[in-house]
Structure 1
Amino acid sequence: MADRLSRRRELFERAADTAPRPARDPYLFPVMAALVPVATSRGGEVAYPGDPMCLYSALSLTIERSVNRLAHGLPAQPSLDDVAADWGHYPDDAYRRAEDGPRSVLVADSRTTDGHVFDPRIWDDVARTAFITELRALRPKVLLLSSVSAGHRYALEMAELAKEYAPGCLVIVGGRHADETVRYRDATGTADLSWSSTVEVIRDGRARPVVDFVVAGDGSPLLDLLLRAVALVMPPGPGPTPVREVLDALAPVAAHDGTTRGAGNIVGLTADDAVLVPVRGERIDAAQLPSPYEAFSVRARFGIFTRAGSSPLGSRTAHVMTLDACPFKCTFCSESIQVSQRPTRFAVSETEHVARRIERLVDWGTEAAFFDDPVFWGGNWKAITDFCHELARLRARRPELGSFEWGAQLTVDVVLNRAKAQEVHAALDLMRENGCTYVYIGIESMAQRVMRNVGKNLLRRNPEAWVSKVREALGTIRDHGIRVGSSVLFGLDGENRETIEETIEEIGRLIDDGLLVMASPNILTYHPGTAITAAHGQDRLDYHSRKDNRPPYTYFEEAYPEVVSRLLDEDDIWFIHEVSAKRWGSTRNSAAESATPVGA
């Protein structure tokens, strides 16, 4: 390895000496990351909300390495990290406090890590033109695309544009779609690639070969490993980096530090085949990773938080996660532990660490936080209580935090845990006293025949009818002085027009009784890997064709005709859209007032 690193340094030195214009640092190569949108219209459609935390988290280690390399310069002796992605410098505090809303500076002109993300939220002609402008100006050697399944069709188009306008650019795709569609069975040593995966879509010719790598699993350590392997074999100048050479470099790079971290799969798409490289390293916990906001400004605003009074759009809101997978096993959920098999989380003993991160976010201009865990602290009431005590100590030391507010996601049965009723009530009081003003709960349906099949965490010690439980849980939270919003999901097993009408009416009654301040109607869309997708025989989900979407599907996030529940026809979807709007009134969220933090 030492000889190889010496030769590489000489190669880059010679290239720098003969370059027509001196580079800022000839060993650093241009790179850009992009959040792939899921929406195609700027009116009547819900854009994917909030700051792109999946992308921010995945970038955290590679950016940390790049920033350290830039700050310390080239080491005296040849090093594996001589050549690195040029992410720029971390933003200073003044930048963080000033920069929210949409980014206005080209990646090529930005010297901050925050400026290296393209985040359009909508994919239309305006966004396409802006993306092409970015590619022409920067000419990235590597483009990183983070995509959920509903955005996969746009990820493929963005990859095509990168190949056209930045020749030689390596395209790497990750995010939830990759996690849902790429598996490796350790017991048999075989790959399990969904028909909907980027790999299979390209391999069988449904899409052009415009993606070079797919990363699934623990994104941050795996992406760091992959980019170090890319840097090891990358030639200086504008030429392409061979995928096969990158694949061959993964093992020596992983062995270089003696310890491999993270678990997942890296797939390289060569001209001849797809090569899957399983990575089985040490488990990495959330506390071992930099804060996702270490490299980025908080840009989202959430209309449900208004205490700061800084904008009609709501308070400047950070997304925070203590757990990125749900401990429960709902049949429809792509965040279930059954799909996200090895979650990244904070230990329940690390509440002080999370409180310190909140303090740092406030120093950077954050006015509110939404805990986007599928279930706040995994539904562990002791951890929730300990966290609130940490916040109390923080607020006592920093009285200026008095206006800071936050919200979190809970479930009906977590709130109605009879065995811990006293602890639950005490914790809800602590939450309110320490800034919690909002709780979001997935109601899904108010029809008992539907909820019977969902597999939601229906505790045997709490067997009451679902409608009664929902009403009691919402009343419990409200009685502790905390507002409640909810999501409603149509198209689950057992759904028909009668159950749709029942749910719309029962949610309306909850609103009438002041138990809900917001209700979000959603249409079930199939995700690769979920139980309901398998049960309905939907093993060939078209998340790659670029067909124009249309109403009524565009009124619901991630809904396309090819992937919505087979139990709903178009008349049902029109009915849900129109009748829920009439019955729920202004409490129903829309494209203009989203259920979760809305990014610019």
Structure 2
Amino acid sequence: MEERCPAPPAPSVLADRLSRRRELFERAGGTSGRDRYLFPIMAALVPVATSRGGEVAYPGDPMCLYSALSLTVQRSVARLERGLAPQPSLDDVVPDWGRYPDAAYRRAEDGPRSVLIADSPTTDGHVFDPRIWDDVARQAFITELLALRPKVLLLSSVSAGHRYALEMAELAKEHVPHCLVVLGGRHADETVRYQHATRTADLSWSSTVEVIRDGRARPVVDFVVAGDGALLLDLLLRAVGLVATPGFGPTPVEEVLDALPLVAAHDGTTKGVGNIVGLTADEAVLVPVRGERVNAAQLPSPYEAFSVRARFGIFTRAGSSPLGSRTAHMMTLDACPFKCTFCSESIQVSQRPTRFAVSETEHVAQRIGQLVDWGAEAAFFDDPVFWGGNWKAITDFCHDLARLQDRKPEIRSFEWGAQLTVDVVLNRAKADEVATALDLMRENGCTYIYIGIESMAQQVMRNVGKNLLRRNPEAWVSKVREALNTIKSHGIRVGSSVLFGLDGEDRGTIEETIEEIGRLIDDGLLIMASPNILTYHPGTAITAAHGQDRLDYHSRKDNRPPYTYFEEAYPEVVSRLLDEDDIWFIHEASAKRWGSTRNSAAESVASIGA
């Protein structure tokens, strides 16, 4: 694969391009009432499920996608509001995302979108979000394509949805042949890595680039974006705008690649870290981006452009719907500081955390206030570990939230939840600080904590890498019970995830875990338990240890029970330590022993994070 790191061009080169581009668009004229310089664009969250009758669904707003769109949407809205600059500008031609929704729209719009993207004047209306990929969703997607005829289609996909991302890309190329297709999300992050020592890309066999290059899929994706999504996507779309022509003609990938250095050099300082891969007819071209790191406070709120649409039954204080309170999703950190062998969110896999600094707790509290103004009744912090497990930051955040409540009394009815770990809760060295923080969390609206228990079998947990605080090395089962008791004693409910198929798993450990979780439920320590099956993700330690270097996340094979009862589970990618009988047993035995406390995937409080 070719790598391109060209030297920045002379400023006169860009100025000449901008002048010629403006002349081209001026001569082309435009549709009455529409800004001729804006090109149609569509973003889509790629589903991972194919059945509306099963248990698999991904509730929650797609924060990975919303975050990635934040800068390009901000740039487009600013350009739309100020109009065309007197002199040719790099931002003359931008995607047409529409305008930000007003307060009335935000408060009225939740649940699935019902208006065609082509008919929506708001930024919120430019996302296709079906959650299920079946004939109904497929026809709706085709209808959207034909009505909008996007110049660019943006697909955000986790690995389990990659097969459907490829199908959506094929449909786009079939119905809008000149549409540029850009794929990003966690699958891209997991499968495209840059090796500094050799200055080459390390592409997983499962990556979109390799799947297309060796003929396992048709060449229907034009660009893959991995890394700092918001910054790299903004860079790529500005390059598209630089070479785009009026109307529905083609935008050659090679021309966009040539424009990238012009755009990157325009502002003097490149921002963001990651990789853009362009797939031309002849080759894959890697453009590594090694700019300044940007923290979360420097980026717009993901909800700046989007309505809060999710509801969760775990939050009920607002009493606004039988489905639960209207729940926003937030993150203070998008990579886990710990090194669990199975986790694709581990710092070992992500390597590029985007976070709020622990000194920026007031900024996060202010975003909560903004979400309340926009109609949110609750929030769930999707951080792998809330504030990275920093109890001082958690305490500071609660104080900031309390001060905000003094100024905005309506926030006092707002409730929220977060994710913690057993070892973070049982930090013996900071027991007093933990107790104070948990009280402050409850006093300032926290009603729910989600903890990854994973397994209750010691022979499994010794291999996971989760027990990192050697100051409390007692048995995992007793630690779990103590952590749950601690949280409950502070008046906060606890839910958990359980993961089957880790190293050391057998039918005996499966039965042990199901029974021990049942005892925690019996004792009132868990209000929800979510059974999950280990699926291999590119880049994780357990994937390498099990020799799973060829994960089939591209074949269009129909999924079936019992796999469909678990998130992201397909026969080709589940743990090699589980056979189909084991998975049936997990599904049936956990339902019987845990009763109504066993959640289905459709009731999970975690968002897709795609």
TM class by smaller structure: over 0.9
- Give the alignment partner of residue 37 of structure 1, picking from 47, 51, 54: 47
Deviations, residues 491-519 of structure 1 (Å, cap 9, x unaligned): 00000000000000000000000000000
Contact persistence 1:184–1:278 (CA under 8 A): yes
> Which of 380, 403, 416 matches 2:413?
403
Q: What is residue 121 of structure 2 aligned with on the other side?
A: 111
1:593 deviates by: 2.3
Q: Which residue of 1 aligns with 2:521?
A: 511
Kindly indicate whether the alpha-carbon contact (under 8 Å) linking 1:38 and 1:558 is maintained by their aligned counterparts in 2. Answer: yes
Q: Map residues 212-361 of structure 1 onto 2, 5 A cutoff.
A: 212-361=222-371
C-alpha distance after superposition, 1:151-202 (max 9, x if no partner): 0000000000001111200000000000000011111111100000000000
SS of match in other structure, 1:293: helix
Q: Is residue 497 of structure 1 aligned with residue 507 of structure 2?
A: yes
Indicate the residue corresponding to 1:5 in structure 2: 18
CA displacement at 1:457 relative to structure 2: 3.8
Amino acid at match of 2:399: H
What is the SS of the residue equivalent to 1:437? strand
- Report if aligned partners of 1:315, 1:367 keep a CA contact under 8 Å in 2: yes
**Aligned AA (1:523):** I
Amino acid aligned to 1:209: P
Q: Aligned residue for 2:164?
A: 154
User: Which region of structure 1 is more displaced relative to structure 2, 390-399 or 117-126?
Assistant: 390-399
Q: Distance in 1 between matches of 2:190 and 2:153?
A: 21
Question: What is the match of residue 15 of structure 1?
Answer: 28
Aligned match of 1:542: 552
* Worse-matched range after superposition: 581-590 or 7-16: 7-16
Matched, 1:422 2:432: yes
Residue identity (%): 88
Cα distance in 1 for residues equivalent to 2:367 and 2:32: 40
| Residue type of the alignment partner of 2:474 | E
Contact 1:518–1:595 at 8 Å: present in 2 too? no
- Which residue number in structure 1 is paired with residue 581 of structure 2? 571
Q: Residue type of the partner of 1:377? A: W
Contact 2:57 2:602 in 1 (8 A): no
Q: Distance in 2 between matches of 1:598 and 1:93?
A: 26
Match in the other structure for 1:367: 377
* 1:302 and 1:598 in contact (8 A); partners too: no
- Between the aligned partners of 1:192 and 1:77, the Cα distance in structure 2 is 42
Counterpart selection for 2:209 from 199, 202, 219: 199
Task: Give deviations 1:13-68, integer Å, cap 9, x for gaps.
Answer: 1111xx5x436011000000000001000012321221000000000000000000
Contact 1:93 1:364 in 2 (8 A): yes
Describe the SS at the equivalent of 1:339: helix
Aligned partners of 2:60 and 2:605 also within 8 Å: no
Q: Deviations over 1:313-353 (max 9, x none)?
A: 00000000000000000000000001110110000000000
What do residues 88-134 of structure 1 show as CA deviations (whole Å, max 9, x unaligned)?
00001111011000101000000100000000000000000000000
**Pairs aligned (count):** 596
> Which whole-Å deviations, capped at 9, do the CAs of 1:178-233 have from their partners, x for residues lacking one?
00000111111111000000000000000000000000000000000000001101
- Cα distance in 2 between the residues matched to 1:30 and 1:592: 33
1:103-142 to structure 2, matched below 5 A, reads: 103-142=113-152
**For residues 79 and 592 of structure 1, do their structure 2 counterparts lie closer, same or farther at Cα, with a shift above 3 Å needed?**
closer
Q: Is the 8 A contact 2:328 2:379 kept in 1?
A: yes
Alignment partners' CA distance in 1, 2:395 and 2:56: 34
SS at match of 1:488: strand
Task: Kindly indicate whether residue 37 of structure 2 is the aligned counterpart of residue 24 of structure 1.
Answer: no
**Structure 1: 5+ residue runs without aligned partners?**
none
CA root-mean-square deviation = 1.0
Q: Contact (CA 8 Å) 1:39, 1:45: kept in 2 or not? A: no
Q: Provide the C-alpha distance between the structure 2 equivalents of 1:264 and 1:457, rounded to a whole number of angstroms.
A: 31
Distance in 2 (alpha carbons) for counterparts of 1:164 and 1:74: 34
Aligned to 2:7: none
SS at match of 1:387: helix
Distance in 1 (alpha carbons) for counterparts of 2:282 and 2:54 = 43
Residues in 1 aligned to 2:608 and 2:183: alpha-carbon distance in whole angstroms: 24
Q: When the two structures are superposed, what TM-score results if normalisation uses the length of structure 1? A: 0.98
User: How big is the shift at 1:446?
Assistant: 0.1
| 1:562 partnered with 2:572 | yes
- Amino acid of the structure 2 residue aligned with 1:370: F
Tell me how far apart the structure 1 counterparts of residues 528 and 72 of structure 2 sit (CA, whole Å): 39
What is the alpha-carbon distance in structure 2 between the residues aligned to residue 27 and residue 492 of structure 1?
53
Contact 1:97 1:365 in 2 (8 A): yes
CA contact (8 A) 2:158 2:186 kept: yes
Partner of 2:446: 436
Post-superposition CA distance 1:251-298 (Å, at most 9, x none): 111001101000000000000010011000000000000000000000
Aligned twin of 1:475: 485
Contact 1:302 1:597 in 2 (8 A): no
CA distance in 2 between counterparts of 1:111 and 1:284 reads 30
- Whichever residue aligns with residue 64 of structure 1, its letter is Q
AA paired with 2:321? Answer: S
Structure 1 equivalent of residue 6 of structure 2: none
Equivalent position amino acid for 1:364 in 2 = W
Runs of 4+ in 1 over 2 A off after TM superposition: 591-599
Structure 2: how far apart are the matches of 1:314 and 1:598? 18
CA deviation profile, 1:340-374 (whole Å, cap 9, x unmatched): 10110000000000000000000011000000000
- Post-superposition offset of 1:2: 1.1
